[in-house]
Homo-oligomer: A and B are copies of this chain.
Amino acid sequence: MPGPTIYDVATAAGVATSTVSRAFSTPGRVSAATREKVLAVAAELGYQPNPHARALLSGKHHTVAMVVSDITNPHYFELIRGAEMRARVSEYTLLLVNAEESPRVEWEQIQRLAPAVDGFLLAASRLPDENLRQIAVQRPIVLMSRELPGLASVVLDHVEGCRQIVAHLSSLGHRDLVYLAGPRNSWMAGTRWAALKAAADQVGLTARRIGPFTPKVSQGGAAADGAVNAGTTAVVAHNDLLAIGVMQRLAQRGLRVPEDISVVGFDDIFAADVCTPGLTTLGGAHADLGRAAVELLLTAGTRGPDDQPRVLLPTELVLRGSTGPVA
């Protein structure tokens, strides 16, 4: 059942195993004729090098693990897709791991995989800073949608993005907004709030925060009621799932979007485009984010601990029907 080994090829071709090995990995090291022959025999036997034996010796596994905080969030699809594609062009394999929003699970999975992969992509990690640093000494890591000094990261430029959200709302006459916060251990939640608050202050708009909420559609009800209770004309939800849940609840309560209340999300997931009204949301090239993260990870060996890059990708505020002028 297991395929032929390098020994089989060597025997069949009448050479030593080292020659077979070199025929594959160090083409210049054997004569063209020998190489031809070895490759021919190998092809005939259907030989394929055993990646484990190779990894054992080289320490390189040609594999990167991507850990996502919650695989059910469609937002990650694009990240995963971008990462997968970038990994593939370098003939790297992408391991997908779900942390289920649990720092403990995340940590265990990472420890389990650490000896078997070349590095980690941590998407929206819920781990505390010190844990991230611990991992970083074992393996190269790249953070996605999170930053930590000294570690490589890839994030969308939420400062500028939030400024655009605030400018958009302000231009529509809103004097006040409510941010429906994400989980407490989400770096993004903190960042978005800080950026919104700063931008709001700058243009003289009042910003309040309620939450935290688990960013799922099902939590939209509670979030919507909180916003209504706060009495605002504009809500900015931690992500699109929550925003969609909010809109569902508002509709249920007979409140109109955007006439009575405007709703903004983050991520620009596919559903944001098909719900009614369409959801105004801060998107960005998420596939590029995945791509960039893998890129960084694959080139991690060339950098010291002091020049860990911090890639900032532009956001795009996508205007749809969920935001409108204040009545």
Of B85, B96, B114, the contact of A80 (CB 8 Å cutoff):
B96
Chain B minimum-CB-distance residue to A58: B52
Contact B84 A71 (CB under 8 A): yes
- Chain B residues lying within 8 Å of A72, measured Cβ to Cβ, are 77, 81
Known interface pairs A95-B93, A95-B96, A271-B270; A111-B48 also in contact (CB < 8 Å): yes
Task: Determine how many copies of this chain the complex contains.
Answer: 2
Q: Is A98 an interface residue (CB 8 A)?
A: yes
Known interface pairs A111-B48, A274-B244; A98-B116 also in contact (CB < 8 Å): no
**How extensive is the interface on chain A, given as a class?**
35 or more
Contact A74 B74 (CB under 8 A): yes
Closest CB-CB distance, A165 to chain B, in whole Å? 21
Q: Is A317 an interface residue (CB 8 A)?
A: no
Closest CB-CB distance, A41 to chain B, in whole Å? 18
Known interface pairs A274-B275, A275-B276; A138-B55 also in contact (CB < 8 Å): no
Q: Is A115 an interface residue (CB 8 A)?
A: yes
Q: Is A291 an interface residue (CB 8 A)?
A: no
Interface residues as binary, A68-100 with B (CB distance below 8 Å gives 1, 0 otherwise):
000110100100110011001001011111100
How distant is the Cα of A2 from the Cα of B61 in the complex, in angstroms?
Answer: 13
How distant is the Cα of A55 from the Cα of B80 in the complex, in angstroms?
Answer: 27
Contact B71 A115 (CB under 8 A): no
How distant is the Cα of A86 from the Cα of B95 in the complex, in angstroms?
Answer: 15
Contact B98 A49 (CB under 8 A): no
Of B1, B71, B271, the contact of A81 (CB 8 Å cutoff):
B71
Q: Is A113 an interface residue (CB 8 A)?
A: yes
Of B1, B80, B115, B271, the contact of A138 (CB 8 Å cutoff):
B1
- Chain B residues lying within 8 Å of A248, measured Cβ to Cβ, are 274
Contact A85 B98 (CB under 8 A): yes
Q: Is A53 an interface residue (CB 8 A)?
A: yes
Contact B48 A114 (CB under 8 A): yes
How distant is the Cα of A85 from the Cα of B70 in the complex, in angstroms?
Answer: 12
Of B84, B114, B271, the contact of A96 (CB 8 Å cutoff):
B84
Closest CB-CB distance, A25 to chain B, in whole Å? 16
Closest CB-CB distance, A135 to chain B, in whole Å? 13
Contact B3 A115 (CB under 8 A): yes
Q: Is A59 an interface residue (CB 8 A)?
A: yes
How distant is the Cα of A85 from the Cα of B88 in the complex, in angstroms?
Answer: 24
Chain B minimum-CB-distance residue to A279: B274
Contact B51 A53 (CB under 8 A): no
Contact A74 B71 (CB under 8 A): no
- Chain B residues lying within 8 Å of A56, measured Cβ to Cβ, are 50, 52-53, 56
- Chain B residues lying within 8 Å of A84, measured Cβ to Cβ, are 71, 96-98
Interface residues as binary, A238-272 with B (CB distance below 8 Å gives 1, 0 otherwise):
00000010001000000000000000000000110
Chosen A-B contacts, 12 in total, with CB atoms closer than 8 Å, are A2-B115, A50-B115, A50-B116, A71-B77, A71-B80, A74-B77, A91-B112, A95-B95, A95-B96, A274-B275, A274-B276, A275-B276
What 17 new A-B contacts, CB under 8 Å, besides A88-B98, A93-B95?
A: A2-B59, A3-B114, A50-B56, A52-B52, A52-B53, A52-B115, A52-B116, A56-B56, A71-B80, A72-B77, A77-B77, A93-B116, A95-B95, A248-B274, A271-B271, A274-B274, A276-B276
